[in-house]
A = this chain, B = another copy of it.
Amino acid sequence: MTNTTPKKPSRIQTRNRRLILDAALDVFSRDGYGGATLDAIAKGAGLSKPNVLYYFEGKTEIYVTLLSQLLETWLDPLVELDPDGDPVEELLGYVRHKLDMSLELPAESKLFAGEILKGAPRISKYLRHDLKPLFDRKCHVIQDWIDSGRLAPVDPAHLIFSIWATTQHYADFGAQVAVLLDADDPSAGAHAHLEQLFRSLLVPPLPKD
Report A's interface with B, CB cutoff 8 A.
30-36, 110, 113-114, 116-120, 124, 127-128, 131-132, 135, 152, 154-155, 157-159, 161-162, 164-166, 168-170, 172-173, 175-177, 179-181, 186, 189-190, 192-194, 196-197, 200-201
Contacts and interface: CB of A to CB of B under 8 A. Distances in A.
Contacts of A197: 154, 162, 197, 201
5 contacts: A31-B118, A32-B34, A131-B180, A158-B186, A162-B166
Contact of A179 (B132, B179, B190, B200): B132
Copies per complex of this chain: 2
Contact of A32 (B33, B131, B179): B33
Contacts of A200: 152, 200-201
Contacts of A158: 186, 189-190, 192-194
Q: Which 7 A-B pairs have the closest CB atoms?
A: A34-B35, A158-B193, A165-B169, A32-B32, A165-B165, A120-B175, A34-B34
Contact of A127 (B31, B33, B152, B176): B176
Contacts of A118: 30-32, 35, 175
Given A131-B180, A135-B180, A162-B194, 18 more contacts: A31-B118, A32-B32, A33-B34, A116-B173, A116-B175, A119-B175, A127-B175, A132-B179, A157-B189, A159-B193, A161-B173, A161-B177, A161-B193, A162-B166, A162-B169, A162-B197, A165-B168, A166-B166
Nearest to A32: B32
Contacts of A36: 34
Q: Which of A164, A177, A180, A189 has the most CB of B within 10 A?
A: A180
A162 to B, nearest CB: 5
Contact of A193 (B30, B154, B175, B196): B154
A97 B116 CA distance: 24
Contacts of A119: 30, 175
